[in-house]
Chain A
Amino acid sequence: MTLKSPKLPSEPRDLFPGALELMILQTLHRQPMHGYAMVQHIQQRSHDLLQVEEGSLYPALQRLLKAGLVDAEWKISASNRRVRTYSITPDGTKHLQREVSRFEQMLEGISLVLAPAKG
């Protein structure tokens, strides 16, 4: 996954570890989805600022499956296609809440540090 910054020349940057997982959990928290739909959702929600390399979703999904934070099931989609649909587990919900609050704290910390440089 790369973060596309309009201000810097197109130097791809990795997000911090776990960011993609966090977004997946947040997406699934709204409703169960299959992979392709998740990618569409994340790109739309970030107004295309976050260009997910679509494939990189899958290792992240495997990690979440293994940790028991999501479940997967083959279903027939609205477009009448056999798709593997993921849903968040209760553990996943708890994890999401914890991580979101930690993320917010971290973001606050970073903004505080960066503030003088701007000014």
Chain B
Amino acid sequence: MNPMKRMFHRHTMTSDLSEEMQQHLEEKIEALVADGMSHEEAVHAARRAFGNTTLIEQRSREVWMWPLIESIWADVKFALRGFRRNILFTITVVAALALGIGATTAMFSLIYAALLHPFPYAGANHIVNPRIIDEKHPQIPTWFALTPAQFNSFRKAKSIDSVLGFILADLETTGSDLPEDVSTAYVTSNASSFFGIPAMLGRGIQPSDVPDSGQSTNVVVLSYRFWKDHYSGDKTTIVGRTLQLNHKNYTIVGVMPSRFTFTETVGNADVYIPWTPTRAGALFPWIKLKAGVSLATANAEFQSLLNQFKQETPKHFPAAFRVSVQPIIEPYIHRTGSTLALLFASVVVLLLIGCANCSVLLLARGEARHHELAIRSAIGASRFRMVRQLLIEAFAISFAGTAMGVAASFWLAEFALRMMPYAFPQEAAVTINFPILAFSIGLALIAGLLSGLSPALRLSRPNVSKIIQSTARTTGGNTSKRTTNLLIGSQIALTFVLLGVAGAAIAGFLKVISTRLGYDPHNVMAIRVPLKRDTDKNQQQRANYINQLRERVASVPGVISVAVASSGIPPSQPDFGLGTIGPFEILGEQPKQQPQAAVSLVSPRYFATLKIPLLRGRIWDQAENQRGDFVAVVNQTLAQRYWPHGDAIGHQIRILSLKDDGGPLLATSPQSGGLRQIIGVVADSRNDGLERPVAPAIYVPYTTFMWDGTELLVHTAGAPLAFIHAIRIALQSLSPDQRTAEVGDLEEALHHQSIWTQQRLFSILFSFFAGLALISSLIGLTSTVSFAAARRTNELGIRMALGAQRSHIVWIVVRATLATVGSGIVVGLVLDLALENVLRHWTPGSVFTPWMIAVVAFLLIVCTIVACLFPARRAAMIDPMVALRGE
């Protein structure tokens, strides 16, 4: 009967069976009654003769079941029974695998949450940023904005599924005592359908908010954070309350959920308000491409549209540019892709170590089970059957390890996500979901196979006659010893590699935190001060106003020094514009390479506030500062690069980027792009991030080039943020609606540097993984030595009885293992050196030094010696009489 038919028949077979057995009993009873028994007696007798009906039915049914599954289940039960008998062994192997699987699953969860599926928005894979690249500054891409009319024709492009138009604006709360900044996003009325995320409370912005008349209703949707901070999470009455912004009342219609943080790339919004042409004259398009449209196709179509738009509004676009829309995940991949790849590689190494460890332990246990296996083989178990049994044991271990590892992985992934807050999308959230479970089940299968296959093949071929005749103790296959040694050696080598990587990461972090800054961030804060947009374009008036702001802040008690710095806060450069490295000219010189420098717009007090020493010459005075033109101070790097003989002072330079480019919000001094004389040289301070060398820098008076905002650096007598209230009041005394925007402690800002957070996370995670690897390897090592010693108890007893010293016994036990460990360390060292260049590429922040490798090697050697000596000493402590009697 074929299997299909059999399956189909299974049901009828068994129902026939019950009936048949019933018939049998009845017939028997009738026969017994006919022989003269009472009916009751006959029933009992028939039952007795028939036997246990349930059991018989069960057994009959089993005939029809799948023998494979049944017997696998039997194997599983057998394996579990074996594990229960040997709890310590079980805990050790399961833990060895759980460490590796847990860490690997955690990294996969992190990658899944941060890079593969971070955004909750509908069709997030197709959403792109509207990026264009200015041919003049190709390294600094920008976004393009459109006028309402342009937006309307743009949204009809063939490549586009839908577009969200948005623009950010700074509004402030009014109607309460102190005005507060509210970052507002004006979004087109299709926002709800574009994002596909329902509001947490109330509703999102919807098309009916902007009727065809164009007169929008005054409604506002709050972000989760704004709702928490300003309404303390009020759930019951929030919808319908009124929020007054810039003297206008808005009705709160909804609150978005916490994962909705649109969008970090351009600055998070506190509230969302429907866009109308009267509210803002331009829109950034957030574009959802149609499925299947390639980036190249979209770029080509948008390029021709934007070329038309440029004819209408030439000022909105660079002279020469190309469209290069960017999937929203791309910036993050750029930032953290290689970090995550390396972390993933390291947990895979950890997993391999775990598998090797598990193999070693299974082999060692198998040695002790030789007798059992030999008997099974002798009574006719096939090789296949025994391999299967041993593999099933390995799978049972790997699945138990996976269950534990997956449970732990959630916390580990969360931890990593929290530790690098600026590196991952804010929307990212670690969840345990189907792809991650599928991944971990895959891992369990691979781990089970990797760790179980070699012991299974090894142990399933016992030399039956030899084993059964001899006692268990004295035997031990040479080949399996070789396998064990190979596994132990590779474990040690891989552990060395991981320790090397961790050591390099820590050394890199130490280097970052001990970087000589060249300036003193202690008790200094930066305050961004927005200036009114309608301020006169008169340069002198604006310069005066900024100077007055500076003086008001300086008069606050406890403020030691105040400086203006309107082009970036150390140690970084701003993302674009002035302050980044750009070209300048040196009068009378035609160097082969265009001179490059970062241009900083500062006040003379800048150097004193940050304690940057003046090396030669002088700083410009107050009058020169007011004028803005003709003077410049350079840093030592620049002075030495172009005037190596120390004669920088007196030379003339020109910075064309300071020229008035006609931008609407700009005020410049008359000669801002003209010649300037170098009047002083200051010491170097970090101006290009912590990890890169100091860039050549030119300092010029801030009055030469002013936007609608500036920044004040305030050095205070204590923790700077405590002074912020007094400073705000001082600024308002100058002008009642003078606000302050972001405030940041310069010392803290160092910790937000991506190299800082990244290197810190690297150090912690790599050390953690390397630590796990070390523990794992040491467990493997200790158990191998223990098992080996236990197998030789008999021999050791004889040696001791014959007068061997305990130290000699210890030596005998560890001798073989030490050789293995030694070769493992040598291989690891070679691997470390070979991988150095690769790792240097992947983790530019890490530092590889021979000194660090030596420390790691020393640590590993000490640990392995301890791990070997511990069980060896125990073996040497046994009483020889007991050992011999054990026979």
Q: Chain A: residues with CB nearer than 8 A to chain B?
A: 34-36, 39, 53-56, 58-59, 61-63, 65-66, 68, 72, 74, 79, 81-84
Residue pair A36, B28 in contact (C-beta under 8 Å):
yes
Name the CB-closest residue of A to B6. A66
**How many Å from the CB of B5 to the closest CB on chain A?**
11
Q: Could you say which of A54, A61, A62, A68 contacts B51, with CB atoms under 8 Å apart?
A: A54
Residue pair B63, A35 in contact (C-beta under 8 Å):
no
Known contacts A62-B63, A66-B1, A66-B63; A84 and B20 CB within 8 A of each other: yes
Q: Could you say which of B50, B55, B64 contacts A66, with CB atoms under 8 Å apart?
A: B64
Residue pair B6, A36 in contact (C-beta under 8 Å):
no
Q: What is the CA–CA distance of A28 and B69 in the complex, to the nearest angstrom? A: 33
Given the complex, which residues of B lie within 8 Å of A34, measured CB to CB? Answer: 20, 23
Residue pair A59, B59 in contact (C-beta under 8 Å):
yes
Known contacts A36-B23, A62-B63, A83-B23; A55 and B56 CB within 8 A of each other: yes
Q: Could you say which of B16, B57, B61, B63 contacts A84, with CB atoms under 8 Å apart?
A: B16
Q: What is the CA–CA distance of A64 and B324 in the complex, to the nearest angstrom? A: 74
Q: Could you say which of A56, A62, A79 contacts B17, with CB atoms under 8 Å apart?
A: A62
Q: Could you say which of B19, B20, B51 contacts A53, with CB atoms under 8 Å apart?
A: B51
Known contacts A36-B28, A59-B59, A59-B60; A54 and B49 CB within 8 A of each other: yes
The 27 sampled A-B contact pairs (Cβ below 8 Å) are A34-B23, A35-B20, A35-B24, A36-B23, A36-B27, A39-B24, A53-B50, A53-B51, A54-B51, A55-B53, A55-B55, A58-B20, A58-B56, A58-B57, A59-B56, A59-B59, A61-B60, A62-B13, A62-B60, A62-B64, A63-B63, A66-B1, A66-B64, A72-B16, A81-B23, A84-B19, A84-B20
Starting from the known contacts A55-B53, A84-B23, 18 additional A-B residue pairs (CB-CB under 8 Å) come to A54-B24, A54-B49, A54-B51, A55-B21, A55-B50, A55-B52, A55-B55, A58-B20, A58-B56, A59-B59, A59-B63, A62-B13, A68-B1, A74-B16, A81-B27, A83-B20, A84-B16, A84-B20
In the complex, which residues 1-42 of chain B have their Cβ closer than 8 Å to any Cβ of chain A? 1, 6, 13, 16-17, 19-21, 23-24, 27-28
Given the complex, which residues of B lie within 8 Å of A74, measured CB to CB? Answer: 16
B51-78 interface code vs A (CB 8 A; 1 in, 0 out): 1110111011111100000000000000
**How many Å from the CB of A99 to the closest CB on chain B?**
19
Q: What is the CA–CA distance of A55 and B313 in the complex, to the nearest angstrom? A: 97
Q: Could you say which of B6, B28, B51, B64 contacts A56, with CB atoms under 8 Å apart?
A: B51
**How many Å from the CB of A48 to the closest CB on chain B?**
12
Name the CB-closest residue of B to A38. B24
Q: Could you say which of B27, B51, B62 contacts A55, with CB atoms under 8 Å apart?
A: B51
Given the complex, which residues of A lie within 8 Å of B23, measured CB to CB? Answer: 34-36, 81-84
In the complex, which residues 108-149 of chain B have their Cβ closer than 8 Å to any Cβ of chain A? none
Q: What is the CA–CA distance of A79 and B53 in the complex, to the nearest angstrom? A: 24
Given the complex, which residues of B lie within 8 Å of A35, measured CB to CB? Answer: 20-21, 23-24
Q: Could you say which of B1, B6, B21, B27 contacts A58, with CB atoms under 8 Å apart?
A: B21
Q: Chain B: residues with CB nearer than 8 A to chain A?
A: 1, 6, 13, 16-17, 19-21, 23-24, 27-28, 49-53, 55-57, 59-64
Name the CB-closest residue of B to A61. B60
Name the CB-closest residue of B to A51. B49
Interface contact tally, CB-CB below 8 A = 65
Q: What is the CA–CA distance of A18 and B52 in the complex, to the nearest angstrom? A: 21
Q: Could you say which of A56, A72, A81 contacts B56, with CB atoms under 8 Å apart?
A: A56
Q: What is the CA–CA distance of A59 and B17 in the complex, to the nearest angstrom? A: 10
Q: Which 6 A-B pairs have the closest CB atoms?
A: A55-B51, A55-B56, A62-B63, A59-B59, A62-B60, A54-B50
The residue among B1, B28, B51 with the most chain A CB atoms within 10 A of its own CB is: B51
Given the complex, which residues of B lie within 8 Å of A79, measured CB to CB? Answer: 27
**How many Å from the CB of B11 to the closest CB on chain A?**
14
Q: What is the CA–CA distance of A34 and B24 in the complex, to the nearest angstrom? A: 9
Residue pair B28, A54 in contact (C-beta under 8 Å):
yes
Given the complex, which residues of B lie within 8 Å of A56, measured CB to CB? Answer: 51, 56
Q: What is the CA–CA distance of A72 and B14 in the complex, to the nearest angstrom? A: 13
Given the complex, which residues of A lie within 8 Å of B16, measured CB to CB? Answer: 72, 74, 84
The residue among A54, A55, A83 with the most chain B CB atoms within 10 A of its own CB is: A55
Residue pair B49, A58 in contact (C-beta under 8 Å):
no
Given the complex, which residues of A lie within 8 Å of B63, measured CB to CB? Answer: 59, 62-63, 66
Q: What is the CA–CA distance of A112 and B557 in the complex, to the nearest angstrom? A: 118
Residue pair B17, A58 in contact (C-beta under 8 Å):
yes
The residue among B23, B57, B64 with the most chain A CB atoms within 10 A of its own CB is: B23
Given the complex, which residues of B lie within 8 Å of A39, measured CB to CB? Answer: 24
Q: What is the CA–CA distance of A55 and B49 in the complex, to the nearest angstrom? A: 8
Q: What is the CA–CA distance of A39 and B20 in the complex, to the nearest angstrom? A: 14
Given the complex, which residues of A lie within 8 Å of B52, measured CB to CB? Answer: 55
Name the CB-closest residue of B to A40. B31
**How many Å from the CB of A84 to the closest CB on chain B?**
5
Name the CB-closest residue of B to A58. B60
**How many Å from the CB of A65 to the closest CB on chain B?**
8
Given the complex, which residues of A lie within 8 Å of B27, measured CB to CB? Answer: 36, 79, 81
Given the complex, which residues of A lie within 8 Å of B21, measured CB to CB? Answer: 35, 55, 58
Given the complex, which residues of A lie within 8 Å of B19, measured CB to CB? Answer: 84
**How many Å from the CB of A67 to the closest CB on chain B?**
9
Q: What is the CA–CA distance of A10 and B55 in the complex, to the nearest angstrom? A: 23
Q: What is the CA–CA distance of A36 and B28 in the complex, to the nearest angstrom? A: 7
Name the CB-closest residue of B to A53. B51
Q: What is the CA–CA distance of A53 and B56 in the complex, to the nearest angstrom? A: 10
Q: What is the CA–CA distance of A59 and B16 in the complex, to the nearest angstrom? A: 13
**How many Å from the CB of B525 to the closest CB on chain A?**
85
**How many Å from the CB of B149 to the closest CB on chain A?**
81
Name the CB-closest residue of A to B17. A58
Given the complex, which residues of B lie within 8 Å of A82, measured CB to CB? Answer: 23
Q: What is the CA–CA distance of A39 and B56 in the complex, to the nearest angstrom? A: 15
Q: What is the CA–CA distance of A63 and B1 in the complex, to the nearest angstrom? A: 12
